[in-house]
């Protein structure tokens, strides 16, 4: 296992490119199973989850070229296997998005329960209910889900939660289904829009993109496409908070303002000064203050994936802030590590914490429990006095591209030790 060694107390300075969207590229890679033609994806983030997804596709019989680079080519013409490798599935939640395209093309899929970050209860009942509504039959065999469908049929599907991956699975199933599918209470995050636009380029007939009601008219086949992955607003938010907690002066490029509206509103309420230019976000040195409450919500609400770094920001804000993430009961379970660094935080229950700042953080050796908490601990170490170590950083690198190199280029004293 690897660790980051971070010497804090240095204000970040300079310019950084926003990374591509992890949550867009993974389901887009899965969607290439819907055609025998080659698909070319550009602006691909160089993260370990992309490698895992690429290897899952390879084990099914797909030809995948360019893993580890910003451009990958995928051809699924020779895919015949329909059972997903359980060891790879356990590494990544997004493996669940392979269910619908395999079912739509081959009439069968078998998988273990998907893994990924342990941040709370994350069943796949919503996925299975949607596929069942479209004619699939689901059974459990030796702790696996075994799903078959001779022909998927369009249906009116109401998702019991606005799940991103369940929305994506339902839309993929609908693309080659017979008739029309209406997906209600669908997720509408920027990465879901990106995913749907890729399917449209493949020939899918989708309307309502960006809303919580998506309509799909099934077609007989899809074709290959070349597509550029969009920017990740979570990456932008993380680097904006990194600048704020270190008193830095940072320009983030490849910035999409409409993906940042509520994030920016919360940051302004907390005294973070920034300017928006043409494709840029300029974060200025600021005196950070508390805000009454930060509550996560499905898009266009405040994203749950930024809850952890906002807890770190609140430790450096004068006053008291309540942070409430009702979506995942494990999101707060890294707070003890921040407390060991000197943070003044009260964990009210698994979903809420109260943070009182401003507190001087001190260096510590800590372990990363999940992707977003790991990134938050890096930010805390950047703001702390002394040299900290963050272990299990493989979790961080599942979602943050070249994290050490990008921070180092901004003046951070950080290195990765294997």
With cut-offs at 50, 70 and 90, classify the pLDDT of residue 93: confident
| pLDDT > 90: percent of the chain | 92
Q: What is the pLDDT of residue 122?
A: 52
pTM of the model: 0.94
Among 69-78, 111-120, 318-327, the range scoring the smallest mean pLDDT is 111-120
Token pair 């979506």 is at which residue? Answer: 327
Q: Which of 49, 194, 232, 305 is catalytic?
A: 305
Q: Check residue 135 and give left, alpha or beta (phi > 0: left; psi -120 to 50: alpha).
A: left
The tens digit of pLDDT for each residue in 181-207 reads 999 999 999 999 999 999 999 999 999
Q: Is the pLDDT of residue 258 over 70?
A: yes
Please state the rounded mean pLDDT for residues 75-97.
93
Active-site residue, 85 included:
no
Tokens found for residue 79: 């895919």
Which of these CATH numbers, 2.60.120.200, 3.65.10.10, 3.30.70.1150, 3.40.1280.10, describes 3-18+231-417? 3.65.10.10
If we measure between CA atoms, which residue out of 1, 8, 52, 5 comes closest to residue 30? 52
Q: What is the pLDDT of residue 120?
A: 41
Active-site residue, 398 included:
yes
From the centroid of its chain, how far is CA 145?
24
Determine the Cα–Cα distance for residues 16 and 113; give it in Å rounded to an integer: 37
Are the folds of 3-18+231-417 and 22-228 the same?
A: yes
Determine the Cα–Cα distance for residues 98 and 172; give it in Å rounded to an integer: 9
Q: Which of 117, 188, 196, 353 is catalytic?
A: 117
Token pair 């310019």 is at which residue? Answer: 15
The tens digit of pLDDT for each residue in 325-373 reads 998 878 898 999 999 999 999 999 999 999 999 999 999 999 999 999 9
With cut-offs at 50, 70 and 90, classify the pLDDT of residue 116: low
Q: What is the pLDDT of residue 91?
A: 85
* Strand, helix or coil for residue 357: strand
Please state the rounded mean pLDDT for residues 21-40.
97
Determine the Cα–Cα distance for residues 92 and 229; give it in Å rounded to an integer: 19
Q: Which of 3, 21, 23, 194 is catalytic?
A: 23
Please state the rounded mean pLDDT for residues 112-121.
59
User: Cα dist. 319→180, 290, 293, 302, 315 in Å?
Assistant: 53, 5, 12, 21, 9
Q: Is the pLDDT of residue 118 over 50?
A: no
With cut-offs at 50, 70 and 90, classify the pLDDT of residue 5: very high
Active-site residue, 122 included:
yes
Q: Which of 3, 331, 372, 398 is catalytic?
A: 398
Q: Is the pLDDT of residue 119 over 70?
A: no
Q: Is the pLDDT of residue 323 over 90?
A: yes
Q: What is the pLDDT of residue 349?
A: 93
Q: Which of 3, 21, 22, 91 is catalytic?
A: 22
If we measure between CA atoms, which residue out of 172, 182, 181, 175 comes closest to residue 154? 181
Active-site residue, 7 included:
no
Domain boundaries, the chain: 3-18+231-417, 22-228
Active-site residue, 117 included:
yes
Active-site residue, 305 included:
yes
Please state the rounded mean pLDDT for residues 291-320.
96
Q: Is the pLDDT of residue 224 over 60?
A: yes
Please state the rounded mean pLDDT for residues 284-305.
96
Q: Which of 122, 205, 228, 416 is catalytic?
A: 122
Which of these CATH numbers, 3.30.930.10, 3.40.50.300, 3.40.190.10, 3.65.10.10, describes 22-228? 3.65.10.10
Please state the rounded mean pLDDT for residues 373-385.
97
């Amino acid at each position: 296992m690897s660790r980051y060694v971070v010497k804090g107390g240095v204000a970040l300075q300079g310019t950084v490119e926003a990374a591509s969207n992890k949550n867009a590229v993974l389901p887009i890679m899965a969607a290439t199973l819907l055609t025998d033609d080659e698909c070319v994806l550009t602006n691909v983030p160089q993260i370990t989850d992309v490698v895992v997804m690429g290897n899952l596709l390879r084990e099914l019989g797909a030809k995948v070229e360019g893993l580890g680079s910003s451009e990958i080519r995928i051809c699924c013409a020779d895919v015949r296997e329909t059972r997903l490798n359980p060891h790879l599935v356990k590494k990544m939640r997004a493996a669940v998005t392979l269910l619908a395209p395999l079912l739509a093309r081959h009439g069968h899929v078998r998988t273990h329960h998907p893994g990924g970050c342990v941040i709370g209860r994350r069943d796949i009942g919503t996925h299975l209910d949607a596929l069942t509504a479209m004619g699939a039959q689901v059974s459990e065999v030796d702790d696996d889900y075994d799903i078959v469908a001779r022909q998927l049929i369009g249906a009116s599907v109401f998702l019991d939660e606005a799940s991103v991956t369940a929305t994506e699975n339902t839309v993929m199933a609908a693309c080659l289904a017979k008739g029309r599918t209406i997906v209600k209470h669908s997720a509408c995050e920027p990465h879901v829009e990106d995913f749907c636009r890729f399917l449209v380029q493949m020939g899918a007939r989708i309307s309502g993109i960006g809303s919580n009601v998506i309509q799909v008219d099934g077609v007989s086949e899809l074709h290959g496409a070349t597509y550029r992955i969009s920017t990740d607003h979570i990456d932008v938010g993380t680097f904006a908070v990194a600048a704020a907690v270190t008193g830095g002066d940072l320009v983030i490029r490849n910035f999409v303002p409409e993906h940042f509206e509520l994030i920016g509103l919360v940051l302004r309420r907390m005294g973070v000064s920034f300017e928006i230019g043409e494709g840029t976000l300029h974060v200025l040195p600021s005196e950070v203050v508390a805000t009454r409450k930060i509550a996560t919500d499905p898009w266009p609400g405040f994203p749950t994936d930024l809850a952890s770094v906002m807890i770190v920001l609140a430790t450096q804000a004068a006053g008291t802030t309540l942070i409430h993430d009702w979506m995942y009961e494990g999101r707060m379970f890294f707070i003890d590590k921040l407390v060991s660094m000197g943070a003044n935080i009260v964990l009210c229950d698994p979903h809420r914490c109260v943070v009182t700042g401003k507190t001087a953080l001190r260096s510590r050796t800590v372990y990363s429990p999940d992707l977003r908490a790991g990134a938050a601990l890096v930010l805390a170490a950047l703001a702390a006095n002394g040299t900290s170590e963050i272990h299990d950083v493989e979790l961080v690198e599942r979602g943050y591209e070249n994290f050490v190199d990008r921070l180092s280029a901004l003046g951070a004293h950080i290195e990765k030790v294997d």
